[in-house]
Amino acid sequence: MPSIYHPQLNEEHCITGQEYHHLSRVLRTKPGDVILLNDGQGSLAKAVIKNIDKKCAHFELLEAAIYHEPTSHFAIAFSLLKNKHDELIVEKCTELGCREFYPFISAYSVRKGEDISRFERIALSAIKQCDNPWLPHVNPVYTLKKSIKQAKEQGYTPVFCSEFRPDTWLNDLKLPANAKPCFFIGPEGGFGTEELAYLEQEKIDQITISRLILRAETAAIAIAAQYVSLSKPS
């Protein structure tokens, strides 16, 4: 069943705000109905609705919250795309277990700024739909170089998905077992000459993900699926 986001899972037994509206007005939940709660921090728990008033849905836990270790730990960095196709990146990669997003602006980015709250809402909706107990963090929109620096500072290993590495695939990389890759996806027009030179200068790994030319949003989903399929549960 789709889950309900409730970050204070073991502390507050009252659902309010937007989730309350969804329960009472959209799902039309009644006292006695069983729901699945999701704290976005690794825990899921079943609960029963006790009563619903004008501002709150009161519940009782049926079981202790079960903590789920992430099966993989990866991030996706993506250039802002035209027609907001990057929203599909956030939705589908969240469903695949992405833990962090780094939206960035590069030389050929069509859009030059973004309010990340839209990405955050999409990620929240996605974890509820697929019962992913980990709500990914969406970083502010930075330049490409600053996103690389930010990812490194947060413990990720940048890996660029590139059409210039036709014989280097994800499983060819010799990443340490505890490495957390952050896969960088360029805009519709690819990376600029100076950007490619910077990647070479920084000796950042570059891989291919398909024999075909993929749309940017497809590339992000493809590398996320490939990484999950190659990862063993931690």
Phi, psi for residue 191 in degrees, rounded to 5: -85, 150
Determine the angle formed by the axes of helices 193-201 and 144-153, rounding to 10 degrees: 30
Instruction: Quick: pLDDT tens for 194-230.
Output: 998 998 898 999 999 999 889 999 999 999 999 999 8
pLDDT given at position 218: 96
Strand partners for 137? 100
Please give the Cα distance from 115 to 21 (Å, whole number): 24
The fourth-level CATH superfamily of domain 4-67 is Hypothetical PUA domain-like; domain 1 (2.40.240.20)
Q: What is the CATH number of domain 75-230?
A: 3.40.1280.10
In percent, the amount of the chain with pLDDT more than 90 equals 67
> Residue 29: in which H helix or E strand, if any?
none
Q: Contact, 160 vs 195, CB < 8 A?
A: no
Is the pTM value of this prediction over 0.75?
yes
Ordered by start, the domain boundaries in the chain are 4-67, 75-230
